[in-house]
Amino acid sequence: MNISSIVDPNVSTVGKNPRGSAQLGKDDFLRLLTMQLRYQDPLNPLENTEFIAQMAQFTSLEQLQNINETLAGQDEGKTDLNATFANNLLTSLVGKEVEVPMNQVFYGGNETSISYNLGRGAQNASVSVLDARGQVVTKIEVEPSQLNGRVSWNGESASGNKVPHGAYHVVVSAEGYGKQPIAAEALERVRVDAVRFDREEAYLQSGNRELTMSDLRSVLAERN
């Protein structure tokens, strides 16, 4: 006799477990097994081997659910541990310099520096400075094998003339074999002033900017 063919007319929740799922839970399985024994045909009772097989199914189901609950609890514990670790790490960055992505540099009359990051496999790379119209002011070739580097710009255009003071756009480009584009980005160094926590995430504050952990590219050593 098949358990799934037994339906108790006085029970309307058969086939639905307390979680509202259409899948059978261990309580549903036991209830159906009890109903099967109650309504079995006296002239064709449940065979011992069939009963033992169904009890084995019930035991296996219960063990699997217990394992799932244990794993779920471990995942929650790992999530809490990871969050605590990340928060402690962010707090330790207060007062330190970090490098974060940027797309512009300000020239105010003094030499300024531009940091950059390149992906592996670059065959050539450059740092370009563009004006507000998108015209290239100057282009500085960099060593492609150096994944993290820094260049200086003295405010001169490619023709050697000094440019007006102001903000300029920065683009870092890199190519690999066959002129395939390689990931590259310009970076700037900022100081972490504070850490702000909210329900979803922690934020690093640097002046008027808010940064997340995913914004960080490197943490710089403290200067002696």
Beta strands 97-102; 218-219: pairing state: antiparallel
- Shared domain for 202 and 121, answered yes or no, is yes
- Shared domain for 108 and 176, answered yes or no, is yes
Give me the pLDDT at residue 160, please: 92
- Shared domain for 83 and 104, answered yes or no, is no
Three-state secondary-structure class, residue 167: strand
Q: Is residue 224 part of a domain?
A: no
SS3 content of the chain, % helix, strand, coil (to 5): 30, 30, 40
- Shared domain for 105 and 214, answered yes or no, is yes
Residue 78 has phi, psi (to 5 degrees) of -65, -40
Q: Is residue 203 part of a domain?
A: yes
Tell me the two tokens of residue 157.
């255009």
End of a domain among 58, 90, 122? 90
pTM for the predicted model, two decimal places: 0.57
- Shared domain for 74 and 129, answered yes or no, is no
Spatial neighbors of 1 by CB under 8 A, at least 6 apart, are 36, 40, 41, 44, 46, 50
End of a domain among 54, 73, 90? 90
* Number of domains making up the chain: 2
Q: Is residue 139 part of a domain?
A: yes
Per-residue pLDDT of the chain (224 residues; tens, 9 = 90+): 444 444 444 444 444 444 444 445 556 656 666 766 665 656 555 555 555 555 556 565 566 666 666 666 555 555 555 555 566 777 888 888 889 999 999 999 999 999 999 999 999 999 999 999 999 999 999 999 999 999 999 999 999 999 999 999 999 999 999 999 999 999 998 999 998 887 777 888 898 888 888 888 888 877 65
Q: Is residue 75 part of a domain?
A: yes
Spatial neighbors of 34 by CB under 8 A, at least 6 apart, are none
- Shared domain for 76 and 145, answered yes or no, is no
Give me the pLDDT at residue 185, please: 95
- Shared domain for 142 and 174, answered yes or no, is yes
Q: Is residue 111 part of a domain?
A: yes
- Shared domain for 160 and 180, answered yes or no, is yes
Tell me the two tokens of residue 200.
């979803």
Amino acid, single-letter form, for residue 48: N
End of a domain among 34, 60, 90? 90
Give me the pLDDT at residue 91, please: 80
Give me the pLDDT at residue 137, please: 96
- Shared domain for 35 and 124, answered yes or no, is no
Give me the pLDDT at residue 158, please: 93
- Shared domain for 212 and 152, answered yes or no, is yes
Domain, as residue range, for 123: 97-219
- Shared domain for 212 and 112, answered yes or no, is yes
- Shared domain for 178 and 213, answered yes or no, is yes
Give me the pLDDT at residue 93, please: 84
Report the alpha-carbon distance of residue 218 to residue 214 in Å, rounded. Answer: 11
